C-alpha cells in the first residue's frame, strides 16, 4: 500500500482473516462433498473442483503477501516471480473453465432435466475437468518461458504483493511485442470466450424459464442459478476491470490498480464457499448436520 508502510502490520490482520476464511472454507467444502455420497452429483463435483482451485490460488499469493506486510520484504528472485506468475495465471484460467462447466451444468439441468444424469455422467465430468486443467497448464506455459528470455534492467520489486505479467514486462529492456500479442490473444480465447459462452448459456436459460407456465417453477429454476451467477460476477468483474485498466487505462491511480489486483485474486476464493454454503440447500443441510453431530 503506497504511503502506508507504517501500517503494514495492521493491514496484515484483515489479509490474514481473508486467507484463513478462504483456505478453511474451501477445504471444508471439499471435505463435505467428498464424505457425503449424496453430494456426488455433477454440480457438487464441479463445486469441489472450484474449491480446490480457489484453495491453490490463495496459497499461491498468501506467502508473498504476508511476507511483505509482516516482514516488509518486497524483493523476489526472477525464477520465483515467474513461477508465481505462471501458477496464478493457470489457476485463473482453470477457474474460468470450471465456471463455464458449471454454467453448462445449470443449462442442462433446466433445459433438459430428464436427460441430465445421462448427459453429465461422472466419467464425462472427469474428462471435461481434466481438459480444463490441461488447457490452463498448456496455454499459460509460454508466459514464463517468454519472460525468462528477456533482459531486465533492475531487480523485480512488484507494486502488488504478487507478480503480474504486465508489471514484469515493464521491467524488461527487450522488445516485448510477442508477449503483448500472445497475452491479449490468450486472454480473448480463454477468459474472454468463457465469459461469452456463460452469457450465452444464461440467455438460453432465461428463454427456457420464461416459457414455463407455472410461476413457482419458474422462480425455483432461476433460484438454482443464483449461486453460480454470484460467483461468475465476483470472478469476471474484477478480472476484466484489471485487464482493461492495465491495457487501455490512461495512467490509472496506483492505489486503484493495487486494490483491484487484490480483489481479483482474493475475493473469489473468499466469497465462493460462503455463497454456496448459504444458497445450496443440500450442502447447507450437510454442513448443519455435521456440526449438530
For 91-136, the pLDDT digits (tens) are: 999 999 999 999 999 999 888 888 888 898 889 999 999 999 999 9
pLDDT tens-digit map of 152-166: 776 666 667 788 887
Vertex 73: Cα angle to 71 and 267 (nearest 5) = 80
CA atoms within 13 A on the CB side of 137: 7
Residue 32 pLDDT more than 80?
yes
Mean pLDDT of 17-33: 92
pLDDT value at position 135?
95
Confidence of residue 196 (pLDDT cuts 50, 70, 90): very high
Q: What angle do the packed helices 254-279 and 78-111 form, to 10 degrees?
A: 40
Domains along the sequence of the chain with CATH: 5-292 (1.20.1070.10)
Q: What's the whole-number mean pLDDT along residues 15-30?
A: 92
d(CA 174, CA 238): 30
The answer to whether residue 2 scores a pLDDT higher than 80 is no
How sure is the predictor about 198, in pLDDT bands with cuts at 50, 70 and 90?
A: very high
Instruction: Name every residue whose Cβ is closer than 8 Å to that of residue 118 and which is 6 or more positions away in sequence.
Output: none
Nearest to 223 by CA among 242, 209, 241, 204: 209
Position 256 scores a pLDDT of 74
Distance CA 191, CA 204 (A): 20
Encode pLDDT of 257-267 as tens digits: 778 888 888 89
What is the torsion angle, in degrees rounded to the nearest 10, for the CA atoms of residue 212, residue 216, residue 221 and residue 224? Answer: 170
pLDDT for position 53: 95
Which helix or strand (DSSP H or E) is residue 133 part of? helix 122-139
By mean pLDDT, which of 145-149, 249-253, 263-267, 272-276 is the weakest? Answer: 249-253
Closest CA to 167 of 178, 182, 155: 155
Instruction: Tell me the C-alpha distance between 195 and 197, whole Å.
Output: 5
Find cell 516485448 and name the residue: 176
What is the predicted pLDDT for the residue at 21? Answer: 93
How confident is the model at residue 27, as a pLDDT?
A: 93
Amino acid at each position: 500500500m503506497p504511503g502506508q508502510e507504517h501500517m503494514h502490520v495492521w493491514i496484515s490482520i484483515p489479509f490474514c482473516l481473508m486467507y484463513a476464511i478462504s483456505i478453511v472454507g474451501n477445504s471444508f467444502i471439499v471435505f463435505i462433498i467428498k464424505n457425503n455420497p449424496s453430494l456426488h452429483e455433477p454440480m457438487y463435483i464441479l463445486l469441489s473442483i472450484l474449491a480446490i482451485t480457489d484453495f491453490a490460488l490463495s496459497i499461491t499469493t498468501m506467502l508473498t503477501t504476508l511476507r511483505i506486510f509482516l516482514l516488509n520484504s518486497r524483493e523476489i528472485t526472477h525464477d520465483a516471480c515467474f513461477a508465481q506468475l505462471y501458477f496464478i495465471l493457470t489457476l485463473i484460467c482453470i477457474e474460468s473453465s470450471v465456471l463455464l462447466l458449471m454454467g453448462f451444468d445449470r443449462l442442462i439441468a433446466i433445459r433438459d432435466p430428464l436427460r441430465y444424469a445421462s448427459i453429465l455422467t461422472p466419467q464425462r465430468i472427469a474428462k471435461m475437468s481434466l481438459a480444463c486443467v490441461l488447457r490452463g497448464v498448456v496455454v499459460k506455459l509460454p508466459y514464463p518461458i517468454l519472460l525468462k528470455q528477456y533482459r531486465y534492467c533492475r531487480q523485480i520489486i512488484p507494486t502488488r504483493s504478487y507478480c503480474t505479467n504486465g508489471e514484469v514486462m515493464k521491467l524488461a529492456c527487450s522488445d516485448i511485442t510477442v508477449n503483448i500479442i500472445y497475452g491479449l490473444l490468450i486472454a480473448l480465447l480463454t477468459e474472454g470466450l468463457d465469459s461469452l459462452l456463460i452469457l450465452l448459456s444464461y440467455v438460453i436459460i432465461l428463454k427456457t424459464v420464461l416459457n414455463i407456465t407455472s410461476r413457482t417453477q419458474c422462480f425455483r429454476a432461476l433460484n438454482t442459478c443464483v449461486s453460480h451467477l454470484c460467483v461468475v460476477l465476483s470472478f469476471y468483474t474484477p478480472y476484466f476491470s484489471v485487464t482493461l485498466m492495465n491495457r487501455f487505462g490512461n495512467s490509472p491511480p496506483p492505489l486503484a490498480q493495487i486494490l483491484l489486483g487484490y480483489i481479483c485474486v482474493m475475493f473469489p476464493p473468499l466469497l465462493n464457499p460462503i455463497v454456496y454454503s448459504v444458497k445450496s440447500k443440500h450442502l447447507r443441510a450437510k454442513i448443519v448436520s455435521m456440526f449438530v453431530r
